[in-house]
Structure 1
């Protein structure tokens, strides 16, 4: 087992249970705009578990949420988003969907 893989597994204990090949491809990109314009960066990480490639991508869609990740494996895509309130006035046990 390589030193990099040992460090990765010690930093991320959930990955220790996965038997996989270590193939990571990470890209971060942002648009070049005017100096006063702030663009959100996109983050894309690709790794292999067994013989399947999994892609995690954030920063492209659902930008108005507090966080959004798209997980892709073969023809399947899953969008996971998180939205929260800045103040504590909303009830924690109720989320209206309208």
Structure 2
């Protein structure tokens, strides 16, 4: 018999929720860092090195924003797959019951 892999629908749902929470936490943290750096640069720290640091951090936070969005997209794909598999399983179970009727 071939190797089989699987996951319970409940475990998949929990995984989706954890991914969504992690993505939201990442977005919130990035926003805090972005705000703190913006407040510091230009007020307490000025000059070309401050501007270069802020530009570098802006680029990094944009990358992190994209990654947070990718995590949400991945979680949504998992959710859609779970729903499709659950529907397919219900249909197959219904068909199997009809064979006995």
Larger RCO (CA under 8 A, 6+ residues apart): 2
More strand by proportion, 1 or 2? 1
More helix by proportion, 1 or 2? 2
Q: State the TM-score, normalizing by the size of structure 2.
A: 0.19
Computing the radius of gyration from Cα coordinates, the structure with the larger value is: 2
Q: State the TM-score, normalizing by the size of structure 1.
A: 0.19
